[in-house]
């Protein structure tokens, strides 16, 4: 059964990808995020702090800290905010689960941290390699890297325990910043289509990550062409998120993302409460 929320006189703005200072690379507290969201008249936010699954077993890590400490703290902060701001804002408890198929046992450990509303799945690095952020694409075979990446996304899409697949074209952000060019995705479209078909079969959402609009790429991740393709293949659910790592970006570009979803044929976009899709009408 689908649950719908009508837009009414004004569009309901929901940002489903926000990092608090419980993520190693983010600055703002959950409380600060919620205050900003209320000031900007958002309807809902999801706090989705980083949890890179394969690193859980490392314990305290010099880059990430300890997920066994940070994620429970994120959950606690989010539930406190949920109660504190209940009459002003819908606060959803989420997590961005990175590389879940690199270590399934660690991913399952992460999912047991608490009672989540919403799980984003993502791939920030290939097996045995650093995050794409750190790679020097001027010295790498980009075609090989992208083929490997979309192979891993096919695996990730097949992982059952998530709600939306985050920033499908994540490597392009760093390929462009390092080389100045954005490669065509045409050579990889068959693999990308396979990702979409798995998401659709398993009733999963595709994220429209709007960070690219204000962080140099110039497009959402994925872009309009790919969102249309997801819809053509039967995609039903899209979530929209800023990937904000500080308050400045909370809600920024969400309306543009909603407009893009509409342009690509979607009548609604989706939030998740206790992993149940709730559809927000697009006026």
Whether the Cβ atoms of residue 95 and residue 42 lie closer than 8 Å to each other: no
Q: Measured at the alpha carbon of residue 226, what is the angle toward residues 131 and 176, in degrees to the nearest 5?
A: 40
Task: Give the total number of structural domains in the chain.
Answer: 1
Query: Residue 215's domain spans which residues?
Result: 3-281
Residue reference for tokens 């044929």: 265
Distance CA 186, CA 184 (A): 6
pLDDT at 1 (0 to 100): 43
The pLDDT tens digits along the chain (283 residues) read 456 566 555 789 999 999 999 999 999 999 999 999 999 999 999 999 999 999 998 777 767 889 999 999 999 999 999 999 999 999 999 999 999 999 999 999 999 999 999 999 999 999 999 999 999 999 999 999 999 999 999 999 999 999 999 999 999 999 999 999 999 999 999 999 999 999 999 999 999 999 999 988 999 999 999 999 999 999 999 999 999 999 999 999 999 999 999 999 999 999 999 999 999 999 7
Q: Output the domain CATH number for residue 49.
A: 3.20.20.140
Q: From CA 43, how far away is CA 18, in angstroms rounded?
A: 14
pTM of the model: 0.96
- DSSP secondary structure string for all residues of 163-219: SEE--TTHHHHHHHHHHS----SGGGHHHHHHHHHHHHHTT-EEEEEGGGGTSSS-S
């Amino acid at each position: 059964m689908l649950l719908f929320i009508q837009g009414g006189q004004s569009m309901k703005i929901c940002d489903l990808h926000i990092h608090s200072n419980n993520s190693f690379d983010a600055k703002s507290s959950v409380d600060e995020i919620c205050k900003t969201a209320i000031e900007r008249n958002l309807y809902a936010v999801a706090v989705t702090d980083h949890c890179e699954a394969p690193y859980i077993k490392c314990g305290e890590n010099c880059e990430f800290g300890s997920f066994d400490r940070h994620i429970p703290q994120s959950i606690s902060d989010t539930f406190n905010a949920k109660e504190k701001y209940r009459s002003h804002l819908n606060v959803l408890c989420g997590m961005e689960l990175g590389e879940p198929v690199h270590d399934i046992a660690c991913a399952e450990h992460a999912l047991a941290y608490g009672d989540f509303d919403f799980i984003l799945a993502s791939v920030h690095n290939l097996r045995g390699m650093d995050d794409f952020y750190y790679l020097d694409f001027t010295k790498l075979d980009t075609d090989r890297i992208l083929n490997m990446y979309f192979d891993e996304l096919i695996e990730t899409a097949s992982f059952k325990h998530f709600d939306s697949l985050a920033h499908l074209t994540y490597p392009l952000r760093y390929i462009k910043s390092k080389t100045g060019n954005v490669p065509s995705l045409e050579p990889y479209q068959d693999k990308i289509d396979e990702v979409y078909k798995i998401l659709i079969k398993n009733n999963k959402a595709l994220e429209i990550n709007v960070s690219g609009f204000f962080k140099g790429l110039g497009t959402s991740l994925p872009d309009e062409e790919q969102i249309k393709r997801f819809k053509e293949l039967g995609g039903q659910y899209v979530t929209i998120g800023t990937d904000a790592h500080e308050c400045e970006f909370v809600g920024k570009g969400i309306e543009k993302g909603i407009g893009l979803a509409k342009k690509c044929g979607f009548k609604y976009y989706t939030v998740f409460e206790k992993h149940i899709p709730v559809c927000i009408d697009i006026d």
